[in-house]
A and B are shown apart, each in its own frame.
Chain A
Amino acid sequence: KAGVTQTPRYLIKTRGQQVTLSCSPISGHRSVSWYQQTPGQGLQFLFEYFSETQRNKGNFPGRFSGRQFSNSRSEMNVSTLELGDSALYLCASSISGTRTYEQYFGPGTRLTVT
């Protein structure tokens, strides 16, 4: 089974621009979660989507948004980029939202904002 894939793997953007990151979950997985990883704040939860609905959201400004498509692929968008948005963005997929299923992480997208 192919693992979670994220595209692109690396991205350089300028302050004020917007960016869209993509995550393809493992086949059959319906839950996709996004995390931001930085040296200062560590791993922080952004949001979770399940069956095209946002089920949970972390404490991030409205500039961070996401969506999930009917094939469970997910995208996250960051508008009006700030230098502090430079981070590794990870997505994780799971079969469902129940407690018994493991979450599998992708390799991440490294976003650099200059």
Chain B
Amino acid sequence: AQRVTQPEKLLSVFKGAPVELKCNYSYSGSPELFWYVQYSRQRLQLLLRHISRESIKGFTADLNKGETSFHLKKPFAQEEDSAMYYCALRGGATNKLIFGTGTLLAVQP
């Protein structure tokens, strides 16, 4: 079965602390993995995708096929990083996304 698991509903850290949002997936094949972010009162938007291998707003994510994980990391959290983060998977030649349940990141001053 295709599934995305985000084990933490809420992650609270202090400003300047490292952040790691966990994401594990289940998919038989070669999926595309994404991180989406939703800031307060804004629409869902793409943050990262594994094929780009880029760093956005200081965030990085590495696809680990052996552990079927795609954890999101940032070395120093900022207050403006506070938002809801969703890990998502896409498999096959369609745009169907399978989302995790999301992790609310709260960065305390």
Contact = CB atoms under 8 A, between A and B. Distances in A.
Interface of A: 3-4, 31, 33, 35, 42-45, 48, 50, 55-56, 58, 90, 92, 94, 97-100, 102-108
Contacts of B28: none
A108 B94 contact: no
Contact of B95 (A4, A31, A58, A90): A31
Given A42-B100, A43-B86, A43-B99, A97 B93 contact: yes
Interface residues on B, range: 10 to 19
Interface residues of B, dominant DSSP? loop
Interface of B: 32, 43-46, 49, 51, 86, 90, 93-102
B93 to A, nearest CB: 6
A94 B44 CA distance: 14
